[in-house]
Structure 1
Amino acid sequence: MRILVLNPNTSQGITDRLMHAARPAAAAGTELVALTAPRGFPYIATRAEAQIGGAIALEMLAQHHTQFDAAIIAAFGDPGLFGARELFDLPVVGMAEAAMLTACMLGKRFAIVTFAQALGPWYQECVEAHGLTSRLAGIRMLDGRFASVADVQDEKEELLVQLANAAVSEDEADVVILAGAPLAGLAERVKERIPVPVVDQMAAAVKQAEALATLRVRKATAGTFRRPAAKPTIGLAAELAARFGPA
């Protein structure tokens, strides 16, 4: 099995964090291949940045999808996820959706803990888009600067653990998700310091991608995620333009 891990951020350091968390979760025989966005933002934090990152993720998928059994969009707000499911035949997993659905199997309500205030509104809308608002205990965010986005989990580890514990004691969260690509892998390091299950977003995405690829379900030819009708395009990358051509 080959799984493509798409980082729609431009930071190679974040890609390295994602893969460090992903590899131990992969089953024997699963090959994980990472790609970092060739342009865009070091990390996506707002709605506008997510729109741009999502478009870049679609381009990357168009260029490489035929070589893989499944793909992961490895940014917590799942930029481009629904569009990818329309356009491509392979299963495409969003890191946020995978983490949240996994959390729902471990408890009634989950909390999202992340490293920047700017992420809150986007993550809230991501929860709503996936229909999981009633399962959300709350979103807690650090308020302050950090030296390096790729190393923010090391710099802010203790504060993130404090936020997670506050989500448990004050918001009555049954499960905690440490959210945002730069926090990939942190759950394994701190899980014994938080009294409820802690979901690693990247590990959850890998296991969900493996499961969907193993199921070998067909691509929809009806319903809202069928491939769109052919339409002419101007200026798109050739591989992406081809996905809008005849099926």
Structure 2
Amino acid sequence: MRLLLVNPNMTVAMTERMAAIARATVGDRAEIVPLTATRGFPYIASRAEAQIAGGIALEMIAENLDGIDAVVIAAFGDPGLMGARELFDLPVVGMAEAAVMSAAMMGERFSIVTFSPLMTRWYADCVAATGLGGRFTGVCTPAAREVDVARVRSDLRDDLVALANRAVTEQGADVVILGGAPLAGLAPEIAAEVQAPVIDPIAAATAQAMTLAGLGGRFAGRACKPAGKSAIGLAPALARAIAMEVR
């Protein structure tokens, strides 16, 4: 089995860390094929940036489908997720959706802890899109708006632990999700310090992608498939996918 891990952020180090987590999750049961965006943003941090990155993610998938059994979109806002599911006849899993679905199976109520208040409304939108908003206790963040995403796991570690525990004790969360690709890998490091299970979204997304691929479900011919049409100015592989020449 081969899983395509698509990072629509441009930061290679972020991709490498998430790929390592994905490989640890699947062991010898699957091969992880990581990709990093070559244009766009070093780190996607808003709904507007996610809209742009979603198109880039679709291009990346279209150009690298050969021999792939499932796709993981490795950015917490899931840019391009629903469009990818329309276009491509294989499982496509997003980090945010996978984390929320996993949290819903582990407890009644869940919270997202992330590193900047700039992502609060966008991440709340991601939860609402899953239909599980009634079980969501909110997004918890430090007060500071500007952070160094390369150092956030170390610089804000204590703050993130405190926020996770506050989500449990004050908001009633049964499960805590660490939101944002820069926090990948932190969940197991702080698990013993948090009073509830802590979910690493890339591990959750990888596990779900592998499960869906292993179920052998029929992804071709779904009712949501759009009609094929021609396009001008798009990357050739994506244009072929939109024309329904790619399955």
Please give the range of the TM-score, normalised by the shorter of the 2 chains: over 0.9
Corresponding position of 1:210: 210
Corresponding position of 2:236: 238
Alpha-carbon shift at residue 136 of structure 1 (Å)? 0.5
- Cα distance per residue 1:105-158 (max 9 Å; x no partner): 110011000011111111111111111101101111122266631221111100
- Cα distance per residue 1:73-116 (max 9 Å; x no partner): 01111110000000001100001111111111110011000011
Listed as ranges, the matches of 1:42-57 within 5 Å are 42-57=42-57
Corresponding position of 1:106: 106
- Cα distance per residue 1:168-193 (max 9 Å; x no partner): 01100000001100001100000000
TM-score w.r.t. length of structure 1: 0.96
Corresponding position of 2:160: 160
Corresponding position of 2:70: 70
1:153 is aligned with what amino acid?
R
Match of 1:229 among 227, 230, 244: 227
2:239 is aligned with what amino acid?
A
Alpha-carbon shift at residue 42 of structure 1 (Å)? 1.1
1:70 is aligned with what amino acid?
A
**Identity across the alignment (%):** 53
- In 2, the alpha carbon distance for the partners of 1:147 and 1:111 equals 21
2:148 is aligned with what amino acid?
S
Corresponding position of 1:134: 134
Structure 1 residue 179 and structure 2 residue 183: aligned? no
Q: For structure 2, list consecutive stretches of 5 or more residues without a partner in the other structure.
A: none
User: After TM superposition, which residue ranges in structure 1, 4 or more long, deviate above 4 angstroms?
Assistant: none
Give the 3-state SS of the residue equivalent to 1:67 in structure 2: coil
Corresponding position of 1:200: 200
Of 8-17 and 77-86, the range deviating more from structure 2: 8-17
- In 2, the alpha carbon distance for the partners of 1:84 and 1:74 equals 13
Corresponding position of 2:38: 38
1:238 is aligned with what amino acid?
P
- In 1, the alpha carbon distance for the partners of 2:40 and 2:217 equals 33
For residues 177 and 119 of structure 1, do their structure 2 counterparts lie closer, same or farther at Cα, with a shift above 3 Å needed? Answer: same
- In 1, the alpha carbon distance for the partners of 2:227 and 2:146 equals 45
- In 1, the alpha carbon distance for the partners of 2:116 and 2:244 equals 43
- In 2, the alpha carbon distance for the partners of 1:27 and 1:12 equals 22
For residues 127 and 145 of structure 1, do their structure 2 counterparts lie closer, same or farther at Cα, with a shift above 3 Å needed? Answer: closer
Contact kept? 2:117, 2:145, Cα under 8 Å: no
Structure 1 residue 22 and structure 2 residue 48: aligned? no
Q: For structure 1, list consecutive stretches of 5 or more residues without a partner in the other structure.
A: none
Contact kept? 1:18, 1:182, Cα under 8 Å: no
- In 2, the alpha carbon distance for the partners of 1:10 and 1:97 equals 21
Contact kept? 2:89, 2:219, Cα under 8 Å: yes
Contact kept? 1:153, 1:183, Cα under 8 Å: yes
- What RMSD, in angstroms, separates the aligned Cα atoms of the two structures? 1.3
